[in-house]
Chain A
């Protein structure tokens, strides 16, 4: 299934029917600058390159004023070419959408500015199935109207008396029937009435009224012919598209859910961002993730590790190995999650787990000692866990001794333990961050020190001490 023929259809329709549309009212003067004819073509073309798109983002990327765009989109919605969706949402809601966009590989919409307040955001999307129907119906009506007029369909037949030239219409028929024969008769002179069109054919050069009528007929015929010729590409495209299955994006919510699922399914390989692949993902085969997975997916690696862990444990997907720095005391984990099953399965697990662990891994790989690393890391994490416990205890102690500690702190050397205590003093840093510092220092002193220095330098006057270590 390809979306391309449908996009071509949309483009043809835009140029055939909407190229002279302007958002300006009739009464406003049309100066050169305010003339925005062709805006529909621009907007529709832009929409063929997108799926669901936030209208602000679309306005930005088209360099249009959002009001102008909205007016155009409202018009397109009335024309049944575009579906729109409006919702009040927080920055979080916008983020869900942005994540969906990222998953479909449409880079045009960037992660919007964080807003705490609720805002009504509008989204729009082409409705291909409806466009197909609407265009076919429009063409049908066009043709029918012209043909009906040409054949005098739906026009009230007129009759004329050849003797006294009195005119009647078909609405008088009841009064005009005679019992003697099968013709209509004039009310005043009882002459046999003649249907107007017959007279037209019989009489070659009639009066001005008849001439006007004939000219009109000619014009209609001309219009009909022109229509056939000019709309031929559109009709060809319609017949080409007729038997193809229409691309469906579904409602905004469903689309987001699917986009997430698709993005997730292909995570790790760059092909997920490829247009053909993502369109294949929308081909109607339902993905295993729909609806309820949204929470899990959108927050993964972004915030709330606790939540993440819980939702991951709750889902039916195979349990993942948690990065050891996430493991804390009191957590109820399986062996697999702790990564204690075996080297191979562990490697698999980490490769599919969230971004953060990937980052971690890549820094690790940059190290020289690749061969022994796995074992090393394992041992290291075990030690780390132990250290965390120690740290917690020492933190408790430290609270009691905090005053004296600050006084002594400057003379301390850079043991990894001190690093932990330092960061512990800052209540904003949470546990895993602290663990990272500690981890780096014990892994390779040089890297670790640089890290620490960079992080701590702006914080207080301790940096001199760190350099010494």
Chain B
């Protein structure tokens, strides 16, 4: 699920950036540092959308670095148990398949794949129905439901299922 929230971060800036572009430099560094990271609490930071306020800088003794407290608005993505997501398959093996929904990695184990789909090994390992009409392989797009999340301080990993109504392959690039 996406959220638009305000976060705060202390930015350390090298003295060489002090000048008329200080603010721009600060924001550029913030984007570089923050976008794409993941915190267990808020999820993945997708994009910074604005700066709320930049506090007074504090000069560090000895180094000359200055620390600015920055409040910024950003879009975060945090997966939840029970959420339905659309994801792209990245890897298929005998144990199931891995997929990505943006920054999130999801594993679907083979017992959560419909029973009528069989694993086929080869150069392009895949799960296929007996009549061959539905195939899950690398780059297939699937709709899945998250049934469990593992949230670490800097990482979120999910497991999902496609064994339920309206879940499964939604677009097969190989067939197109």
Interface residues of A (CB under 8 A from B): 152-157, 170-171, 173-174, 177, 182-184, 195, 197
Kindly state the separation between the CA atoms of A292 and B16 in the bound complex, as whole angstroms: 81
Question: Which single member of B98, B121, B164 contacts A153 (CB below 8 Å)?
Answer: B164
Contact: A154 with B147, CB < 8 Å? yes
- Distance in angstroms between the alpha carbons of A380 and B9 in the assembled complex: 100
Q: Is residue B161 contacting chain A, with contact meaning CB distance below 8 A? A: yes
Query: What would 15 more interface pairs be, CB under 8 Å, given A152-B111, A174-B98?
Result: A153-B112, A155-B147, A156-B147, A156-B148, A170-B109, A171-B107, A171-B159, A173-B96, A173-B107, A173-B109, A177-B93, A182-B94, A182-B95, A183-B94, A195-B110
The 0/1 profile, CB within 8 Å of A marked 1, for residues 89-111 of chain B is 00101111010000001010111
Name the B residues within 8 Å of A171 (CB-CB): 107, 148, 150, 157, 159
* B163 at interface by CB-CB < 8 Å: yes
> In the complex, which residues of chain A have a beta carbon less than 8 angstroms from the beta carbon of B111?
152, 157, 195, 197
Interface of B is mostly: strand
Please report the total number of B residues contacting A with Cβ < 8 Å. 22
Asked if B93 and A182 make an inter-chain contact with CB atoms under 8 angstroms apart, the answer reads: yes
CA of A153 to CA of B107, assembled, Å: 15
The CA of A183 and the CA of B96, in the complex, are separated in Å by 9
**Are A170 and B148 also in contact (CB < 8 A) when A154-B161, A182-B94, A182-B125 are?**
yes
Q: Which residues of B146-166 have CB atoms within 8 Å of chain A's CB atoms?
A: 147-148, 150, 157, 159, 161, 163-164
For the complex of A and B, the 3 pairs showing the least CB-CB separation, nearest first, are A182-B93, A173-B107, A171-B150
Query: Do A170 and B107 touch (CB < 8 A)?
Result: yes
Whether the pair A156, B159 counts as a contact (CB closer than 8 A) is: yes
| A368 and B49 alpha carbons, distance in the complex (Å) | 98
B159→A182 contact, CB < 8 A: no
Report B-chain residues with C-beta under 8 Å of the C-beta of A174: 98, 105, 107, 157
A156, A173, A177, A184 pick with most chain B CB within 10 angstroms: A173
Contact across chains for A153 and B161 when beta carbons are under 8 A apart: yes
Complex Cα distance A156/B161, Å? 10
CB distance from A137 to the nearest CB of B (A): 14
Cα–Cα distance between A187 and B51 once the two chains are bound (Å): 44
Q: Which one of A152, A170, A183 has the highest number of Cβ atoms from chain B below 10 Å of its Cβ?
A: A170
Collect the chain A residues with CB atoms within 8 Å of residue B163's CB. Answer: 153
Residues of B near A155 (CB, < 8 A) are 147
By CB atoms of chain A within 10 A, which of B91, B109, B121, B164 has the most?
B109
Question: Restricting to B125-176, which residues have a CB under 8 Å from any CB of A?
Answer: 125, 147-148, 150, 157, 159, 161, 163-164
| Distance A197 CA – B95 CA, assembled complex (angstroms) | 13
Which residue of chain B lies nearest to A176 when distances are taken between CB atoms in the complex? Answer: B95
Residues of B near any A CB (own CB < 8 A): 91, 93-96, 98, 105, 107, 109-112, 121, 125, 147-148, 150, 157, 159, 161, 163-164
Whether A170 touches B159, Cβ cut-off 8 Å, given contacts A153-B112, A154-B147, is yes
Distance in angstroms between the alpha carbons of A270 and B170 in the assembled complex? 64
A153 to B96, CA, bound (A): 15
In the assembled complex, how far is the CB of residue A271 from the closest CB belonging to chain B, in whole angstroms? 50
For B109, give the chain A residue with the smallest CB separation. A157
B147, chain A: closest CB distance, angstroms:
5
- Give every chain B residue within 8 A of A157 (Cβ-Cβ): 109, 111-112, 159
Return chain A residues, CB-CB under 8 Å to B107. Answer: 170-171, 173-174
Residue among B95, B96, B159, B161 with most chain A CB within 10 A: B95
Asked whether, in the complex, the Cβ of A195 is within 8 Å of the Cβ of B157, the reply is: no
With A and B bound together, what is the CA distance between A170 and B164 in angstroms? 18
Q: Which of B105, B121, B161, B164 contacts A182 (CB 8 A)?
A: B121
Determine whether the beta carbon of A183 is less than 8 Å from that of B95.
Answer: yes
- Chain A residues with Cβ below 8 Å from B164 are 153
Bound form: Cα–Cα A171–B95 in Å: 13
Q: Give the CA-CA distance A174 to B107 in the complex, in Å.
A: 8
A318 CB, nearest partner CB in chain B, Å: 60
Question: Is A183 touching B112 in the complex (CB atoms < 8 A)?
Answer: no
User: What separation, in Å, do the CA atoms of A157 and B125 have in the docked complex?
Assistant: 21
Task: Tell me, in angstroms, the Cα distance from A157 to B109 when the chains sit together.
Answer: 7
Q: A154-B147, A171-B157 are in contact. Are A177 and B91 (CB under 8 A)?
A: yes
Q: List, in ascending order, chain A residues with CB within 8 A of B95's CB.
A: 173, 182-184, 195
User: Could you pull out 16 A-B pairs where Cβ atoms are within 8 angstroms?
Assistant: A153-B163, A154-B147, A154-B161, A156-B147, A157-B111, A170-B148, A171-B148, A171-B150, A171-B157, A173-B107, A173-B159, A174-B157, A177-B91, A177-B98, A182-B93, A195-B109
Specify which chain A residues have a CB less than 8 angstroms from the CB of B98 in the assembled complex.
173-174, 177
A195: chain B residues within 8 A (beta carbon): 95, 109-111
Q: How far is the CA of A350 from the CA of B32 in the complex (A)?
A: 92
A307 CB, nearest partner CB in chain B, Å = 60
Q: How far is A154 from B160 in the complex, measured between Cα atoms in Å?
A: 8
- B119 to chain A: closest residue by CB: A182
B105: chain A residues within 8 A (beta carbon): 174
Q: How far is the CA of A174 from the CA of B104 in the complex (A)?
A: 12
B131 CB to nearest A CB, Å: 23
Chain A nearest CB from B167 CB (Å) reads 11
Give the distance to chain B from A426, nearest Cβ to Cβ, in Å.
79
How distant is the Cα of A64 from the Cα of B107 in the complex, in angstroms? 57
Query: A151: nearest residue on chain B (CB-CB)?
Result: B163
A2: min CB distance to chain B, Å: 34
A residues within 8 A CB of B112?
153, 157
Cα A155 to Cα B163 with chains together (Å): 12
